[in-house]
Amino acid sequence: MSVVGIVTITLGVLVVFSRGALLVTPEATLRWFKETIASNSRLRTLGVFMVTLGAAMIWAGASDDSGLAAFLTVLGWGILVVSALVVVLFPGIYRAIANPFMPSDTGSLFLWRFAGLAGALIGVLLIYIGALAL
């Protein structure tokens, strides 16, 4: 079994679940995200998870010499650097960037649902590509 395929499938499943929640229940998902970014400790916990994800992607990408492995390595380094610097060390910067994107009322959530659908489709594509890499 290919480590690159397993990590890509895992990443795809994670994307499907996170964006699928935005597709199915955007109001609850956005409320959870607002609560998460309101607290430094919760935001840092999310950042530690993202650092771990980025490190796993780098490790998996280093184990193979394919285009998918190179993609995982580059994406993993991006996630690792951004989450370590911005989310874990300086959560106020992440909060300042994310807060303007949060809706202030519970009006039309069509665009959030569309973003959830697009993300879920990208996750399904990652699962497919990971399955091909196995």
Three-class HEC string of 111-123: HHHHHHHHHHHHH
DSSP 39-101: SHHHHHHHHHHHHHHHHHHHHHHHT--SHHHHHHHHHHHHHHHHIIIIIII-HHHHHHHHGGG
Residue by residue, pLDDT tens for the chain (134 residues) are 689 999 999 999 999 999 999 999 999 999 999 999 999 999 999 999 999 999 999 999 998 889 999 999 999 999 999 999 999 999 999 999 999 988 877 677 889 999 999 999 999 999 999 999 98
Check residue 106 and give its pLDDT: 66
Check residue 104 and give its pLDDT: 77
What residue ranges do the domains of the chain occupy?
Answer: 3-133
Check residue 105 and give its pLDDT: 73
Q: CA 132, 17, 95 angle in degrees (round to 5)?
A: 120
Check residue 19 and give its pLDDT: 94
Check residue 101 and give its pLDDT: 87
Check residue 102 and give its pLDDT: 87
